Chains A and B, each alone.
Chain A
């Protein structure tokens, strides 16, 4: 099946810093989503971005499908940004499930 790798696995930043999270996938996809899992365990949709670039406030994402990667940018980090960020993809080949990466754990220090 499709492989999804996220980097870095852990990231500790001072409040106000910017960060870039990366997601590499091993096959062509027709769906790519970024999620934030907050400390209470909720999975919050950030972006649905199978290709192109989107922005939502301090967050933006870019997917280059032909090169099989996606980037999530977080600017001016706040403590509420802490948590685990997951990339999940749906392969062009196979069923409709999303395959999740192992996540990037982001900790923002005040």
Chain B
């Protein structure tokens, strides 16, 4: 158990819909990262938050948005879903002094 909690573990929805993925980082970790793993793209960095502020942005679509709340949990919102958004979405948090990342178990999204 990495200490990073993600919900839901599985989600099946239809094209055009909107979903929210939730992540609770390890106790004491201030940074949260979101990654997408799809079959043809590997593990791609989406976005990072540090103590509530956006820190870095990667290949995140405009249909996707994220935020980190005062209690440090984070949510990734995916809207106007397309078939190609089907993927495993990972959240990670990092140890402040080393930057080592620990990943949650992922949320598997299937868009039908």
Residues on A lying within 8 angstroms of B by beta carbon are: 30-31, 33, 35, 41-45, 48, 86, 88, 90, 95-100, 102-103
Interface contact B88-A96, CB-CB below 8 Å: no
Given contacts A30-B99, A45-B102, contact A98 B88 (CB under 8 A): no
**A-B contacts at CB below 8 angstroms, number:** 50
Interface contact A41-B106, CB-CB below 8 Å: yes
B106 contacts across to A, CB distance below 8 A = 41-43
Interface contact A103-B100, CB-CB below 8 Å: no
Given contacts A42-B106, A86-B43, contact A97 B48 (CB under 8 A): yes
Alpha-carbon gap, A96 to B108, bound state (A): 25
Which of A90, A98, A100 sits near B42, CB closer than 8 Å? A100
Given contacts A41-B88, A43-B90, A103-B42, contact A95 B55 (CB under 8 A): yes
A95 contacts across to B, CB distance below 8 A = 48, 55-56
What's the interface size class on B, roughly?
20 to 34
Alpha-carbon gap, A100 to B41, bound state (A): 11
What 8 pairs across the A-B complex have the smallest Cβ distances?
A: A95-B56, A100-B43, A43-B103, A48-B100, A97-B45, A31-B99, A42-B105, A102-B42
Interface contact A96-B55, CB-CB below 8 Å: yes
Interface contact A33-B56, CB-CB below 8 Å: no
Alpha-carbon gap, A35 to B103, bound state (A): 10
Q: Show 24 A/B contacts (Cβ-Cβ < 8 Å), sorted by A.
A: A31-B100, A41-B106, A42-B103, A42-B106, A43-B90, A43-B103, A43-B106, A45-B100, A48-B98, A86-B43, A88-B43, A88-B101, A95-B48, A95-B55, A96-B31, A96-B55, A96-B56, A96-B94, A97-B33, A97-B58, A98-B101, A100-B42, A102-B42, A103-B42
